[in-house]
Amino acid sequence: MEDKTKPLSVAVFAASSSKVDEHYLAESYRLGQLFARNGVRLVYGAGKVGLMGAIADGAESEGGYITGVIPQFMVDEGWKRDNLSELIVTADMHERKSTIHRLSDAFVALPGGIGTWEELLECMTWKQLGLHSKPIVVLNISGFYDGLLECLNRLAQKQMMRGVHLDMITVVNSADEVLDAIVNAPKWDRSVRKQAQI
pLDDT digit string, tens, across residues 17-28? 999 999 999 999
DSSP, collapsed to helix, strand or coil, labels residue 97 as helix
Burial status of residue 18 (CB atoms within 10 A of its CB: 0-12, 13-18, 19 or more)? exposed
The C-alpha R_g of the chain, in whole angstroms, comes to 16
Pairing of strands 169-172, 41-44: unpaired
Domains of the chain with CATH codes: 9-183 (3.40.50.450)
Nearest residue to 169 via CA among 147, 152, 154: 152
DSSP, collapsed to helix, strand or coil, labels residue 159 as coil
The answer to whether 16 touches 78, Cβ cutoff 8 Å, is: no
pLDDT at site 3: 54
Please list the residues that pair with 12 across neighbouring strands. Answer: 108
Q: How many residues are given for the chain?
A: 198
pLDDT digit string, tens, across residues 128-170? 999 999 999 999 999 999 999 999 999 999 999 989 899 999 9
Please list the residues that pair with 68 across neighbouring strands. Answer: 44, 87
pLDDT band of residue 1 (cuts 50, 70, 90) is very low
